[in-house]
Amino acid sequence: NAGVTQTPKFRVLKTGQSMTLLCAQDMNHEYMYWYRQDPGMGLRLIHYSVGEGTTAKGEVPDGYNVSRLKKQNFLLGLESAAPSQTSVYFCASSDGGVGANVLTFGAGSRLTVL
């Protein structure tokens, strides 16, 4: 089983460029999440989705947009990348259930904005 797959794994952008990170899961999970990892700050929630066609803001949503057009995919977009968005991005999914189901994580996508 593939689980949660993130593409691309690495990307270097120039300030002002745009890009989309793709997260795909094959476990038929309802909930999907995008987190960013920053040194000393653990994982911070950017946006999440509780089902196809839904999205909601997390802790640090500014500068990012998301879409969940299909249940298995959750896209994270950066419209105009900034150096502060240099980070490792993790996608995760779960079966939902009032937060009582564990998250399954992807391998991460390392983004550098110059």
Partner 1 sequence: ILNVEQSPQSLHVQEGDSTNFTCSFPSSNFYALHWYRWETAKSPEALFVMTLNGDEKKKGRISATLNTKEGYSYLYIKGSQPEDSATYLCASPGSSASKIIFGSGTRLSIRP
State the residues that interact with partner 1 by CB under 8 A: 31, 33, 35, 40-45, 48, 50, 56, 58-59, 90, 94, 96, 98-108
Query: In terms of CB distance, is 12 or 41 closer to partner 1?
Result: 41
Query: In terms of CB distance, is 11 or 110 closer to partner 1?
Result: 110
- Least distance from partner 1 to the Cβ atom of residue 18, Å: 26
- Parallel/antiparallel/unpaired status of strands 10-13 and 109-113: parallel
What length is written for the chain?
114
User: CA–CA separation, 34 vs 22, rounded Å?
Assistant: 10
- Within 8 A by CB and 6+ apart from 108, the residues are 6, 9, 37, 88, 89, 90
End-to-end CA distance of the chain: 36
Query: In terms of CB distance, is 17 or 37 closer to partner 1?
Result: 37
- Least distance from partner 1 to the Cβ atom of residue 82, Å: 22
- Least distance from partner 1 to the Cβ atom of residue 84, Å: 18
